[in-house]
Structure 1
């Protein structure tokens, strides 16, 4: 009964805004004004030659996501896999690359888990409430960000302090006895600024193992996230700033069962996870602001412990310490040079390693409409010596309506601490594989974007091709070994159309053909994915969106094929006044039965309603 009431309430919010539609001003394109922080050169979207997708806080609010992992699926070329919803292990793959080949940054600090086998990032517990922007840079970005960026970068920027003393608070309830709430406060003045925020979620959840297979035990989820950001203006040419994101999450999951679909069925399993990402930075300018200097210390720490029937069964700990200097010299309007040095110290379960890096990036703008970028990076690894990677890119606004992009880059990823220290006892080994070598990649992409004179219509097409050598995978005869050559090719298509003053349509489609050296398609990677969003923003109190997500067929690890699926979500908002807003969301409106990973369930039709206060 509670669920039905919630769904009816959300439907009323979503449909009511259509009936009250009225003209509103068209929104201006952001391509020329939004800086891509992941470029390290403060380039705008029209200046960066690499393919990049940007998901803003407005996008997150429009579609009502409670989990950041769902938002990342909006980016074309990005594949999301999750072992059941609400805290199930979640990973992100860019253009067919493995999840461990995606570098994740939070406010510029790498947060990949050094204790994990592939060194990937666990996206399951990342709450979107405190995120200002997510940038997805596709293709090898090792020249910009070093090891782990062999397949791409997900750069997350947390929300900045409010301009005046103020903040917000929200509370929502939903299906599966889910309660989510939080609040923030911030201020900014000539002396400095700050923002503090807390968000919490608790839910009974659904069974991680698919209920359709007879699994009816609910697997709960709890999350507490604290975010802080602030800075001191030390003078006209100096600023000291810091940010912190701390998460404590607990998620129940199900047990291994070799006889069940996907080898998973109901069981008393639980994982506790605590993560911290923090940094402190000093920014100094010289030569009348032409030379920008940033000194940054970053720290990330992750700890997870698994329990079976209430007894601890696994414990892993890992942390990173990052020391970075970057100088950016604005020589003149045509020439910009960025250069710097980094040292990253990593530890996992008592083992340590260090990586020293030098990098240089150069931007040349011979004319206003053309931006050329090149860079080199040298990484010196404790175990594998030096590796140099290069990158070139170009962005050319051929006309007022047409933008051309192209980029080529190399990637480098050293084996993880886990891979270097793992002893496969059931393989008959008594020591780790001493022959492991770093993974390397090389890729290019080319694209064209067009927009109409009035800005109402936009379309873009990008072709990419990437080869990865010495990819590390598990081998039952040798443990972790360099056994894979992977090639991925594909096309990404994006489009947007302002149909009326109050209706905006956006869509994207990605086709990825990824195979190993033997011609076998990669598992858990659909060839086709797509998103379609219709956003309604009439003049008046109502607004909302319809979102359709499509995931094509994909190969399972057991040789079978997972069916394609399509999901429809609806969101609606009603502004009571300038300070109070009611909102709601229906997920999986058509009650589609589907799996993201074989054997793991997903929610049927479900929803939530909430209220937000801005002060």
Structure 2
């Protein structure tokens, strides 16, 4: 396992090396007398361009201005402007357990693991053990844009793109400016502080950014359920990112990024503390010559802890004292020259996730150790992919194939009594196999900004180490792990129409039908007892619409999704047959009206609605629908300074985030932020 100190040293060495490489090469210097003219070197810090057929899949782009102008200033809030995006629960990364923050699209939820692939500068961000996304470590102010593709799978790292792909791209030095920062405080005395330094270095650039959020939080427990041990959802998180981009030639650039983060939260009761920390490093070489290529390698070290407090005696009953995990992987994509009207992608990618849990069970009456558990394993995926886009006049067609060699290995579960005697010791058989996935589509440009598109696809997701080996308790319900879980498989198709006659109008409408076979769900198998199981399928069909309108300084951005989702079960899961999957709303929508002027005034208001959901697979506990209003105001002051005001849930809507037999958790109440922003 990679510890924090060694990772910090690695990140520092990585940054120094990239900055050294950023000195201008000879080809970037002024031309010498009599020498031939040299081409200017331009670095972007991004991957290869989107292919011509990318718009054949249902895609929505969130620009930097939209990412920054949210009520909370958090990335999960910005992503919620895409209807159909959801986490397992409605809480954000200040008041949810980190392990419940998976990212999903198209109402294909039902558990806390990500069914959508989240990439930051091409690197998968999901936790190697749990599959959740460390949203608190992804600061919107570091980003240039977010591209969300619902359904469709992916070429590289496609084994994680069951419900779609969320591609986050870091901003370059020109976008960030020399220095930018922000400091805010809310009506509860909580603070959010962040800053970024960026500089041109020869023909490249380097950036360093940091963010620190802390607060005592709000009461997630309703007033009638509070006891002396009830605690606010206190939180404290920080993250630091280093990034460097340097040219290796006039068509090849080196990109390096290091990220370190730490996140601490308290949920419901005093002492119910969780921590999530990580250190990531990646190197990427992108070539934009005649033979285009994208080579990426990364390593991730993550750690999670959690202390469970009894909801009846209010003492520790389970200490999940350590869950270390490591992610290791990379990809290589090649685009050979195949003609002006053809783009061929050939590639290979690899991802390994290994980790284990160490937890101690305690008696609620004596505090004595009753059991010690250790479990874990390693999952690997090697993917080979090929995709070709062919443009024939107004028509572009695309077809791709992917083959994944997966393995689920080294799985074990050991439980000892308080005295050290072995109670259970299981070693699970290794499994491996090949899985093929296909996708294809067509895009027809009819002129005047009108496009018709259609696509079909299949996809794959391996069960996470968490789902395979880690049981958990959210009182009074115990959920068991299941080492026999099979891979999830997606089959789907969609058709849509886009209309963008000019920069002022952007309309998109999509109908889809997706089906996840062997979907992993938390299935009720007894009183207050669930187990992760493969159910027969989850089907989701629906309509997605988005609209962007610009009228001078005023802009409207809206997104709406209606999804008819249904679970199909057998065996123990037969009771959920025909039910709506847990945690999946039928309706979800977001609408933002913004006003921006050339002198820096920004006004934005967002109305967001999420329909009623069921907490469980049996449809017994309801999470009522919720509609919230957020706002953002930025007013120039003197010189580089501006006044910033943010508002979350301004109507103080009651947001129920958990309902287990009447035991309720609540989401963010009305919150108002005020502070100062600087941009140089």
Aligned-pair CA distance for 1:199: 0.8
Whole-angstrom distance in 2 between the partners of 1:451 and 1:357: 36
The aligned residue for residue 121 of structure 1 is 133
Contact 2:137 2:238 in 1 (8 A): no
Greater relative contact order (Cα 8 A, min sep 6): structure 1 or 2? Answer: 1
Matched, 1:379 2:440: no
What is residue 498 of structure 2 aligned with on the other side? 449
Q: CA, structure 1 residues 373+183, in 2 after alignment: closer, same or farther (shift >3 Å)?
A: same
- For residues 539 and 147 of structure 2, what CA distance do their matches in structure 1 show? 24
Q: 1:459 aligns with which of 486, 491, 507?
A: 507
The answer to whether structure 1 residue 487 and structure 2 residue 539 are counterparts is: yes
User: Does the CA-based 8 Å contact 1:83-1:208 persist in structure 2?
Assistant: no
Deviation digits for residues 430-451 of structure 1, max 9, x if unmatched? x985653221110111111223
Q: State the alpha-carbon separation in 2 of the partners of residues 470 and 213 from structure 1.
A: 38
Q: Does 1:306 align with 2:314?
A: no
Q: Give the 5 Å matches for 1:44-63.
A: 47-63=54-70
Q: Would the aligned equivalents of 1:48 and 1:394 in 2 still touch at CA under 8 Å? A: no
- Tell me how far 1:267 sits from its aligned partner: 4.2
The equivalent residue for 2:349 is: 342
* Cα pair distance change 1:538/1:398, threshold 3 Å: same
Query: Is 1:48–1:371's contact at 8 Å kept on the other side of the alignment?
Result: no
Report how far residue 217 of structure 1 moved.
2.9
Is the aligned partner of 1:508 residue 2:567? no
1:574 correspondence with 2:632:
no
CA displacement at 1:455 relative to structure 2? 4.3
- d(CA) in 2 for partners of 1:314, 1:107: 32
2:443 maps to: 395
Task: Point out the more displaced range, 409-418 or 335-344.
Answer: 409-418
CA offset digits 1:159-216 (Å, max 9, x no partner): 2233797121221111221111121111124442100011111111112333464366
Going from structure 1 to structure 2, the CA distance change for 1:200 and 1:124 (only over 3 Å counts) comes to closer
Change (3 A) 1:203 1:434: closer
Per-residue CA deviation, residues 87-137 of structure 1 (Å, 9 max, x unaligned), is 413333210213432222121111222322xx3434355432322222221
Alpha-carbon distance in structure 1 between the residues aligned to 2:675 and 2:457: 45
Structure 2 Cα separation of the partners of residues 313 and 52 of structure 1:
39
- Secondary structure in 2 aligned to 1:384? strand
SS at match of 1:194: strand
Matches within 5 A, 1:281-430: 281-284=284-287, 289-308=289-308, 312-349=319-356, 351-367=377-393, 369-382=394-407, 383-421=431-469
Alignment of 1:553-592 (within 5 A): 553-557=612-616, 559-577=620-638, 579-592=640-653
Distance 1:284 1:532, change over 3 A: closer
Q: In 1, Cα distance between the equivalents of 2:204 and 2:516?
A: 46
Do structure 1's residue 243 and structure 2's residue 261 form an aligned pair?
Answer: no
CA–CA distance in 2 between the matches of 1:152 and 1:195?
Answer: 30
Give the match's secondary structure for 1:113.
coil
| Cα contact 1:48–1:393 (8 A) shared by 2 | no
Asked whether the equivalents of residues 80 and 92 of structure 1 are also in contact (C-alpha less than 8 Å), the reply is: yes
Report the alpha carbon displacement of residue 394 of structure 1 after superposing the two structures with TM: 1.8
1:590-612 Cα shifts (integer Å, max 9, x gaps): 22222233322123322111111
Give the conservation status (yes or no) of the 8 Å contact 1:473–1:484: no
Contact 1:67–1:125 under 8 Å retained in 2: no
Q: Paired residue for 2:20?
A: none
Partners of 2:86 and 2:285 lie apart in 1 by 36
Name the CA distance, whole Å, in 2 between partners of 1:241 and 1:376: 28
Determine whether 1:530 maps to 2:589: yes
Deviates more, 1:185-194 or 1:440-449: 185-194
Shift in CA distance, 322/591, structure 1 to aligned 2, threshold 3 Å: same
* 2-structure distance, mates of 1:41, 1:165: 24
1:88 partnered with 2:88: no
Query: Is the CA contact 1:69–1:126 (under 8 Å) kept in the aligned structure 2?
Result: no
For the 8 Å contact 2:237–2:261, the answer to whether it is kept is: yes
Preserved CA contact (<8 Å) 1:160 1:229:
no
> Where do 5+ consecutive residues of structure 1 fail to align?
1-34, 255-265, 426-430
Query: Which deviates more, 347-356 or 514-523?
Result: 347-356
Q: Note if contact 1:456-1:497 (Cα within 8 Å) is conserved in structure 2.
A: yes
Paired with 2:649 and 2:340, the residues of 1 have a C-alpha distance of 50
Give distance in 2, aligned partners of 1:497 and 1:284.
Answer: 36
User: How far apart are the structure 1 equivalents of 2:579 and 2:124?
Assistant: 32
TM-score (norm 2): 0.76
Distance (whole Å) between structure 1 residues aligned to residue 96 and residue 484 of structure 2: 34
State the partner residue of 1:15: none
List gaps (5 residues or longer) in structure 2: 1-43, 309-314, 357-375, 408-430, 474-479, 569-576
Give the alignment's Cα RMSD to 1 decimal: 2.8
Pairs within 5 Å for 1:243-282: 243-254=257-268, 266-282=269-285
Q: Distance in 2 between matches of 1:448 and 1:574?
A: 38
